[in-house]
Amino acid sequence: MTDVRVPLDLWDEDDKTGSIVMWLYPDGAQVKEGELIAEILVEKVTLELESPATGTLRIRVEPEIVVNKGDVVATIE
């Protein structure tokens, strides 16, 4: 199992939080490493989150929930 974390370098150093705008795949979907799996909103900018591995996506954080850099938002089984 691989954790999907909000990358520490995804946004500026001053920005500490963001939120998932939407998941591009449903929970339980098969995803491939490097595919875009979610959009994250930070300070009015939408950024893309890639899958770190190939496998089954298990979503742990629903859209509009505030997340911090480094938070685990999903896992890949």
The full set of domain ranges for the chain reads 2-76
CA distance 31 to 15: 28
pTM, two decimal places: 0.85
Buried b (16+ CB within 10 A) or exposed e, 22-40: ebbbeeeeebeeeeebbbb
At residue 7, φ and ψ (nearest 5 deg) are -60, 140
CB atoms inside a 10 Å sphere around CB 65: 11
Please state which CATH number belongs to domain 2-76.
2.40.50.100
Residue 15 has pLDDT above 70, yes or no: no
Work out the pLDDT band at 12, boundaries 50, 70, 90.
low
At residue 25, φ and ψ (nearest 5 deg) are -135, 150
pLDDT in tens, 23-73: 999 999 999 999 999 998 887 888 889 999 999 999 999 999 998 888 899
What does the pLDDT read at residue 10? 60
What does the pLDDT read at residue 76? 95
